[in-house]
Amino acid sequence: MEFIKNLTYLDIERFVLDLGYEKFRAKQIWFAIYRNRVNSFEEIQTLPKSLRKELSNNFYINSIVSNRLEKASDGTIKFLFKFKNGSAAESVFIPWDKGLKERKTLCVSSQIGCALACSFCATGKLGLKRNLTPSEIIDQIFECEKIIGTRLTNIVFMGMGEPLQNFRTLVQVLNVLTDEDCKLFSRKNITVSTSGIVPKIYDLAKIERPVKLAISLHSTDEELRKKLMPIAKKWNLKEIREAAINYYRTTKLPITYEYILFDGLNDSEIDAKRLAKFARAVPSKVNIIPFHRIDFVELDDFQKQLKPSSFEKIIQFKNVLKSEGVRAFIRSSSGYEINGACGQLAFANYKQFVQCE
């Protein structure tokens, strides 16, 4: 049995045509799954009973069988979703309310574990277990909405894994989320974050409905960046800058640069001015991220030296960027108390992971 959300619209269309049904039945199925969020094919009363039976015999609708969650005092919720094959992934719901502007964001995972082994990220300590399927990514969103009782406004691919290393699945999911008939999300409310897989940044710019791009930069010094992010040994800062320029020129969407501040490593005035020069190449903003310690996983000697910059240093860094003409924002530490903040997703409670049921 396959999960129906792993199929594209054309796949569903082929399925109904091969069975001898009319082509428009595919749209009825598509709408039922993504607009009406049915839990069983029997709920799709517009379909002939015989087709509902064929669908039930061939497909599952939901890939998530259970969830566990932890709530932080700031309203952040970390989910541990268990899939039908027994594996699991973490997602984080982040509420944000500033008067008239309210956001409900889900940070989704695209892989179980990660192969990139960034020094500041706990997920890399797991190694890459496998890519998530389209169904497993979409169901993180649907299950979160079911639990919180309302629709999400924003999706960020900043959970476990490197989205651009699961590229084909990512594009399939983006096609669903931005489908103009289903109207799940505006493409401008979806952000894909990458550590800098340069060829795939060029490919992402070419998709039918491109979304926002965030690039994890964290240093404008090549040697330090290589220590922080081993992927930097493959693609240097010049290549990343050129890919970012191309992405903006192709999509007309501003770039976001993510920058974690480490005490005494990348938080000086000189660092801020170098970053500003890098970011000014195209319309962009910088998200300054406080470092969240990952002491709950085994650390190497370099990781043990990483310390968060002081609040005063963070403010100074932001002010330098602003004076250099770059929009800069300090990312909140949402979910820190539940190990749900940036870089902390790694099944901190291993027992919870293996016993999730």
- Beta bridge partners, 2, equal 59
Q: Which of 153, 161, 229, 222 is nearest to 193 (CA)?
A: 161
| Distance (Å, whole) CA 340 – CA 93 | 9
42 labelled catalytic: no
With beta carbons less than 8 A apart as the criterion, state whether 204 and 244 touch.
no
Catalytic residue among 107, 118, 121, 342: 342
**Interacting residues of 337 by C-beta distance below 8 A, sequence separation 6+:** 72, 73
How many of the other CB atoms lie within 10 Å of CB of 145?
16
| Distance (Å, whole) CA 228 – CA 323 | 27
**Interacting residues of 180 by C-beta distance below 8 A, sequence separation 6+:** none
Residue type, 82: K
| DSSP-assigned letters across all residues of 59-80 | EES--EEEEEEEE-TTS-EEEE
> How many separate helices (H) and strands (E) can be counted in the chain?
12, 14
90 labelled catalytic: yes
Catalytic residue among 13, 70, 90, 162: 90
Cα dihedral 306→116→340→139 (10° resolution): 170
Q: Which residues are catalytic?
A: 90, 342
